[in-house]
Amino acid sequence: MTDQNTNSKIAIVTGGSRGLGRNTVVSLAHDGVDVIFTYNSNRAEADKVVAEIEALGRKAAALQLDTGNVATFDAFVDNVRSILKGWGRERFNFLVNNAGTSYHASITETTEEEMDKLYNIHFKGVFFLTQKLLPVIADGGRIVNLSSGLARVAVPGSSAYGSLKGAVEVLTRYMANELGARGIAVNTVAPGAIATDFSGGMVRDNPEINRRVASMTALGRVGVPDDIGPMIASLLTEANRWVNAQRIEVSGGMAL
């Protein structure tokens, strides 16, 4: 069992109860990092992740959060401070802005309501949650924002989602510039198509889509969560301390 001491690093991961977020949380725990993660509605799954992390000898806490509802962020930060205090700490080290939802519609079919919902989760929420947590993140910490291969490759039906992920990539560079004085590095990780329950399990469960994605990927298959979580965890280590303000696509070489 890994020693739990005050020298261990602490990460906050949004959307950590499922998919890529869950894999990231578990990968961080394997690397000796304690984790506070958020879930939207499924407390039972969140509890399973907490148990899995604790079985690895790390501390874990799950907090409910709708990352599209900025009005709840102050209370969330108070909860984070309480957990940190219980762990004998005042600061956390890493923030992974992972939580997100999918949306597939053409430009002509996209509604204002759905665009606003995507904006609140994928951009406004990322901006203001990071802002609210800045007093609590340690100097020399690291932030990873999740983007998508769809910010680079224009796939019909993904205009709203892909555009907002592109905005996150620009925001990442601004964050890196403004937070550099505190020694905080900020990067974007952009996964390609991954076999999870995202988009209703479309890539994972639809053989035709799975085959199509594999055919346009240099390494010849679709991605799996284990391709992403360990990469994000490694980006937060000292080995990558000089990587900053970068967009790193993790897609096996899609649409080259």
Tokens (6 digits) for 191: 């996964």
Tokens (6 digits) for 16? 């950590």
Which residues touch 213 (CB under 8 Å, ≥6 apart)?
Answer: 192, 193, 203, 222, 254
User: How far is 27 from 36, CA to CA, in rounded Å?
Assistant: 13
Selecting among 39, 103, 161, 174, the annotated active-site residue is: 161
Is position 39 annotated as part of the catalytic site?
Answer: no
Residue 50: count of CB within 10 angstroms of its CB: 19
Dihedral pair phi/psi, residue 246, rounded to 5°: -110, 150
Q: Which residues are catalytic?
A: 161
